[in-house]
Amino acid sequence: MHTPKKLILGAAIAACFSSQPAWINPLWAAELNTNLPQSEEDALLSQKITINLPAQPLAASLKALSAKIGLNITYNDKLVSDKQAPALSGTMRSKEALQKLLANTGLEAKLNDNTLYIQRIPNISEEKSINIEKVEVRAKKFYEIGPLPGIGLSKDQIPGNVQSISAKEIKESHSLSITDLMNRKLQSVTVNDYQSNPFQMDLQYRGFTASPQLGTAQGISVFLDGIRVNEPFGDVVNWDMIPMNALSSLDMFPGSNPVFGLGTLGGALAMRTKSGFDGKSLDAEILTGSFGRKQLQASAGGNNDVIAGFVSGNFFLEDGWRKDSPSKVNQVFGKAEWQSDRARLGLSMLYAGNKLTGNGLLPQQMVDQNPKQVYTSPDESKNDLLQFQLSGVWDVTDTFNITSQIYNRKSKRKSHTSDVNENFGGDDDVAATASTRDRTRQLLPGLQDINRDGLPDYNDYTMNVAADANYNPLATFEDPVTGVISVGACLDPEDSCAERLIYGTDFGTRARYRDEQGQWQDVTDQVQVDATDGSGTKVWNWTFDPRIGNDFYGLGGNLAPSKIPDAFNAPVASEEYAKLVRFTWENRAAMKATNNLYGVSAGFLPRSSTQHAGAGNPNYDYDLAGLGAAGGVFGGYTDSSGFFHSYWELSEPINKGVYPELCAMTGIGAVGSSPCVKDANGNYIYRDGKASVLNNGVATGYIEGTPTAIFNDTEINQLGKGAAVQLNWNLDQHKLMIGSSFDTSDSTYASKQYLGFLDKNRHGYVDPSQLGWEYSANSPERGFALNDFKGDNTTKSIYFSETWTPTKTLSINAAARFNHTIVRNQLDVTKLSHFGDVNRIVNLLNYPVLCTDTNNNGTIEASDCPLGLDDAIVPFDPSYAYMGDGFIGSDGKNMLAMFTGEKEKFKYRSFNPSLGITWQAQENLNLYGNWSRGARTPTTIELGCAFDDSPVFDKIDSVTGQPVYVKRSWRERRSCNLPGAMSGDPYLKQVRSNSLEFGARGRLTDYLEWNASVYRTDLTDDIYFVAVNGVQSYFKNIGNTRRQGLEMGLKGRWGKTTFGINYGLTDATFQSEFTLDSPNNSSAGNVYDLNYDREGTYGQIKVKPGNRMPGVPLHNLNLNMAYELTSKWNIGLNMVMHSEAFIRGNENNKHKAGSALPIFPTGPNGPAVERAGFGPGKSSGYAVFNFQTSYKITPEWIFGLQVNNLFDKEYASAGRLGLNAFSPSIRGVIGESGFNYNSADWQGTSFLGIGAPRSAFVTLSYEFQPKKNLESVE
């Protein structure tokens, strides 16, 4: 029975060029001895085929059989020219068909590296090794042209430059990752090592990217056994989760092939895993060498013709070639299968648990010093994956089969990064003043607390003295002669009458006094007045003790404890007011920050200035605005008797002149002040010396408490599920497949940022006790979540592909796919990133502090006040971030509260066709052409971080009275700073691609193969991370981009040498104009011209059509060569060469090295800040050579040695523009880590992804070798 599945199995073991020798041993002559143990050769030819051959010359039958089983068959034409093959029809195993064809011919088959050699059966006395002239009938490898198996086309039928790597090549390459392997072996492939980890490289193919980095525009679909492994959140590809020793093949399909579905803009990478039905196998390899690298790879498989199993494991760990860069990888793959004559079922499992350290790029200056150092560390990612797949194939008839799969893929990615805190000095327009938390001296004003009640000392004056019509206090006077007691005004507080004031007992009752007879008399001089509450109520007139004036000086500042009886620290006559005062005092910083200066939020009745309450209702007043000021805190309340009390705290600091000046803080919610630091000239010192230049200060910056590191912790959880079914017809002239798929995913994303320090090795660490007191985000526990995310994505697709072969030399291919995608997003965000980052989230201070009589001498001196300020720190709370109605959302929340975002839904539809043709113009010349269209829907992160320019109402113009509309993203004050911030959910268009390719391929000789092709892929509505103003960046449709180029390859064998050379010219350009935020580009705007909505040109560049994309070298070349020194010893050499490339930040291609223009932080006419110069904006071209050799100790054991970067070439595969915070001092002070605290001293530089230096590794491999020599029976 001939089925596509069987063809594909044959294709998996198709012949390939190899330098490895083989022992040419008899396989079959006449009939086979089936009692022998199953060998590898038995397994290779164990598949059943359906064959129908007439009686004809043997050469014709062998050629037909070669195509059917997918193996090369080589023979001397003279051996078969006079021999006839019998008719052969029916379903049988491949080896049985071969045996029947060779029966009675005197010929036998021998195996040499997946090639069958036909020769005479030698006599016993003949030499075992026979040199023969041979004619090679080359089997055609069949490629599965879609995610699912079922349809196999030969390369001559595929209208594109498909490239392949076999399991044997993967094993012999000893490459750690798929990206490194493809960079060495394939055309138009480069890698960008932005993370400095072999498992985290960006793969570039024809200018399109498959990257593990969140936010990178992806353009390549990656499949493993038909499962798309581009993760749902961001379409990223985690290369560390692909088990290389489990792969049986790797095929790179070019262009926008619609069969592979969404995201296939520039190509599709399809990988297949091994099967136990491939034959009995047992492989193991240990590797050790440079960088503390240790690796164990092992796999085993087998079958009993019905049940098969395969399992592999890859366990890797290393210290890394750079400091502080360890990584470990653990991968386990297993597959169990069952098959009958017409069906096969398979269940596979993949687990990965990896911890990778990729400490990123390094400034050119540090590269020159020591490329093994790191800029900052750590940068760790922990990736976990558990994947299950159930797949099946059913051969309904000999020409029709059904393939299907279902899968469940669950992954988690947790990352922890430590980076330079570039905003340590605040923003360009709002600088951070230096503060201190010196624990050895007094830093805050202190108030007396002589009675240790936890409150400042106070005077409580009761307004219960009877008053006449002129508001004069009334007292009793005794006639010195008659002894008669009368009532009169007491005008002089120094007079003895102040000792005889008339006090009331109830607000609503006229005061009384005792006459000379001891009788109670009404105070007739006391009058009724209108209540001051405006009610019209008449109330008795009351006033304060006249001696109250002796307690005040100047403008009313409280000076000393009152001499009035029962006034100083008197028990508050209202329980409710006592609660209010204590609550307000204990929360004084928070209440100031929220503009709640009168205790409103304490849950008490609102304040009132009414001293005569009319009806005598309780009123409370506590004026927090005066706290710590000379005038003191003024308060008031009405007691249960209805009398008003004036409550004055003794707020003159007892330690005035001891504590330093307090200056305003820079931060969100910061109404209070901080102990500021000044230079010898009395000027404020700023944390960033750059700001001091603008404020006449010393430009050194400030070390104490300044956060030099910013940490980002993120966690992404993803669950993908899907199913697909495909109908396949394999007819003589038609290869037709019709399929459908359903894929759905759920994702969650959470992140937080916090601050810390860098040590002398530039390793980030957290120490809240040493960080500036004002920084709230001082630990992981105090980290701020800038956004949370959850969403799901569902895609339904139907597709078809038809390859029509009207003649033996012509094939026409048509394919199409319809996709319907629904994306649902919910983003919970804050508005912080519009105003800054976590540097601006500041704590508050509960000041003044209390000073008690610590030496118990009965008085309180300045020395009794506490040192430092640790006990006064109030941790920040989002509710403090009140900055006016313009910063409050419609739900009343402030800028730092987490907003529960709307659940938004997006729908995308696309129909993507393709049309191609191949023509076998000559036996050794194949021509092809292809046009295809593809699409990529915006990823969840792109939608969540997209710019919305739809107009929304902002305000009414105060001059015109007309409504003012602004762009929605600006009005909502949302912005995006990956990986820590995302914004609203506007609609992004899906990216569309149109690909065109023409090429030719063929053979120059039997052993020399070549190919050449030209291509162009144009994208419309491409998505890029761009700036919409000077400080806000988003994902946005930028218009058109183009990738075009040329590919050429030559490979073959010459004697004992095999070789392959590949060249690719890749021209990737922008085709539309847009604005990009790139402040470290020499051509970027240097004048801070941003308005309230942050519109302006500061830090921005203009990208124009024709500008080349960063990270894509124009010229790419790789060379592979192997030589057989002896039958057991082989050597090989690989070379990878790439030309120069622009680096990120230089998208406009205008950046130049040299002097930098000064920054004008306050405008074009303001003061200028000179800054250090720039470095180049390109990464240099390079060529790297890698050497390897292997020696076969026994047929099973092989010893190997590989030397990477043989000539120890220093090179960079990636880069971006940036500033080096560890630059030498021009003005700034240098800290322990080398951090320069004046950012104007930071040198502009190219941050480079440096390749590993020369390294050597030894391997010891074991490969099970089944018995090669099969006995034959004539």
Q: What is the pLDDT of residues 1105-1143, one digit of tens each?
A: 999 999 999 999 999 999 999 999 999 999 999 999 999
pLDDT at 468: 95
pLDDT for 283 beyond 80: yes
User: What is the DSSP annotation of 1164-1196?
Assistant: TTS--B----B--SEEPPEEEEEEEEEEESSSS
pLDDT range class, residue 595, cuts 50, 70, 90? low
Q: What is the pLDDT of residues 1224-1264, one digit of tens each?
A: 999 899 999 999 999 989 999 999 999 999 999 999 999 98
Region of residue 913 (left: phi > 0; alpha: psi -120 to 50; beta: else): beta
Question: How confident is the model over 1070-1078, as a mean pLDDT?
Answer: 91
Q: Is 351 helix (H, G, I), strand (E, B) or coil?
A: strand
Question: How confident is the model over 965-987, as a mean pLDDT?
Answer: 52
Question: How confident is the model over 40-44, as a mean pLDDT?
Answer: 56
- Among 423-437, 442-456, 1154-1168, the minimum mean pLDDT is found in 1154-1168
The residue type at 279: G
Instruction: Please tell me the distance from the alpha carbon of residue 451 to that of residue 951, in angstroms, as a whole number.
Output: 61
The residue type at 987: Y
pLDDT for 591 beyond 90: no
User: What is the DSSP annotation of 112-161?
Assistant: ETTEEEEEE---TTS-S------EEEPPPPEEE-SSSSS-EEEGGGSSS-
pLDDT at 864: 95
Instruction: Please tell me the distance from the alpha carbon of residue 899 to that of residue 1110, in angstroms, as a whole number.
Output: 36
CA dist 887 → 880, 891, 948, 1090 (Å):
12, 11, 19, 19
pLDDT range class, residue 974, cuts 50, 70, 90? low
Q: Is 890 helix (H, G, I), strand (E, B) or coil?
A: coil
Instruction: Please tell me the distance from the alpha carbon of residue 34 to that of residue 30, in angstroms, as a whole number.
Output: 12
Cα 983 from chain centre:
15
Instruction: Please tell me the distance from the alpha carbon of residue 720 to that of residue 716, in angstroms, as a whole number.
Output: 13
Q: What angle do CA 192, 793, 899 make, to 5 degrees?
A: 90
Residue 478: CB atoms within 10 A of its CB come to: 12
Instruction: Please tell me the distance from the alpha carbon of residue 277 to that of residue 302, in angstroms, as a whole number.
Output: 6
Q: List residues bridging with 709 in a β-sheet.
A: 420, 756
Contact 726, 402 (CB under 8 A): yes
Q: What is the pLDDT of residues 732-761, one digit of tens each?
A: 899 999 999 999 999 998 888 999 999 999
Residue 304: CB atoms within 10 A of its CB come to: 9
Residue 716: CB atoms within 10 A of its CB come to: 24
* Run of H or E residues at 1202: strand 1197-1204
User: What is the DSSP annotation of 959-1013?
Assistant: TT--EEEEEHHHHTT--B-TTS--------PPEEEEEEEEEEEEEEETTEEEEEE
Q: List residues bridging with 787 in a β-sheet.
A: 829
Instruction: Please tell me the distance from the alpha carbon of residue 143 to that of residue 1136, in angstroms, as a whole number.
Output: 27
Cα 266 from chain centre:
23
Q: What is the pLDDT of residues 851-884, one digit of tens each?
A: 999 999 989 999 999 999 999 998 887 766 654 4
Q: Where do the structural domains in the chain lie, given as residue ranges?
A: 4-140, 209-424+709-841+877-1071+1106-1140+1180-1211+1251-1263, 446-649
Regarding the domain delimited by 4-140, which CATH topology (the fold level of the hierarchy) does it fall under?
Answer: Phage tail protein beta-alpha-beta fold (3.55.50)
Instruction: Please tell me the distance from the alpha carbon of residue 289 to that of residue 283, in angstroms, as a whole number.
Output: 20
Instruction: Please tell me the distance from the alpha carbon of residue 912 to that of residue 559, in angstroms, as a whole number.
Output: 85
pLDDT at 18: 32
CA nearest to 1140, candidates 1062, 1226, 1066, 1038: 1066
Contact 822, 903 (CB under 8 A): no
CA dist 795 → 386, 822, 986 (Å):
22, 7, 20
Quick one: tokens of 334? 């297993």
Cβ neighbours for 409, distance < 8 A, ≥ 6 positions apart: 227, 229, 385, 386, 387, 388, 718, 719, 720, 721
Instruction: Please tell me the distance from the alpha carbon of residue 517 to that of residue 513, in angstroms, as a whole number.
Output: 11
Q: What is the pLDDT of residues 685-714, one digit of tens each?
A: 899 998 876 665 568 999 999 999 999 999
Highest mean pLDDT: which range of 4-13, 529-538, 874-883 = 529-538
CA nearest to 800, candidates 421, 299, 258, 172: 258
Q: What is the pLDDT of residues 378-393, one digit of tens each?
A: 999 999 999 999 999 9
Q: List residues bridging with 646 in a β-sheet.
A: 461, 636
Burial bucket for residue 38 (CB in 10 Å: 0-12, 13-18, 19+): middle
Contact 1004, 1063 (CB under 8 A): no
Greatest alpha-carbon pair distance for the chain in Å reads 165
Question: How confident is the model over 770-798, as a mean pLDDT?
Answer: 90
- Among 536-540, 1053-1057, 1199-1203, the minimum mean pLDDT is found in 536-540
CA nearest to 823, candidates 791, 790, 787: 791
User: What is the DSSP annotation of 806-873?
Assistant: EETTEEEEEEEEEEEEEEEEEEEE-SHHHH--GGGBB-EE--SEEE--TT-SSS--GGGSPSBSGGGE
- Go through 262-288 and write b for each residue having 16 or more CB atoms within 10 A of its CB, e for each that does not: bbbbbbbbbbbbbbbbbbbbebbbebe
Contact 523, 510 (CB under 8 A): yes
pLDDT at 598: 45
| Architecture of the 209-424+709-841+877-1071+1106-1140+1180-1211+1251-1263 domain | Beta Barrel (2.40)
Compute the half-sphere exposure of residue 545: CA atoms within 13 Å on the CB side of its CA: 25
pLDDT for 244 beyond 90: yes
pLDDT at 118: 85
Quick one: tokens of 494? 């120094």
Residue 517: CB atoms within 10 A of its CB come to: 8
Q: List residues bridging with 994 in a β-sheet.
A: 933, 1018
Q: What is the pLDDT of residues 113-122, one digit of tens each?
A: 667 788 888 7
CA dist 333 → 246, 416, 741, 1259 (Å):
7, 28, 24, 22
User: For the chain, percent helix, then strand, then coil, each to nearest 5?
Assistant: 10, 45, 45
pLDDT range class, residue 889, cuts 50, 70, 90? very low
User: What is the DSSP annotation of 1057-1121?
Assistant: EEEEEEEEEEEEEE-S-EEEE-TTSTTSB-B----TT--S-BTEEEE-TTPBPTT--SEEEEEEE
Question: How confident is the model over 158-162, as a mean pLDDT?
Answer: 96
Q: What angle do CA 536, 537, 539 make, to 5 degrees?
A: 135
Region of residue 497 (left: phi > 0; alpha: psi -120 to 50; beta: else): alpha
Contact 88, 95 (CB under 8 A): no
pLDDT at 30: 34
Strand 1115-1124 relative to strand 1178-1179, pairing: unpaired
pLDDT for 1165 beyond 80: no
Angle between helices 94-102 and 58-69 (to 10 degrees): 170
CA dist 1194 → 583, 1049, 1264 (Å):
85, 35, 11
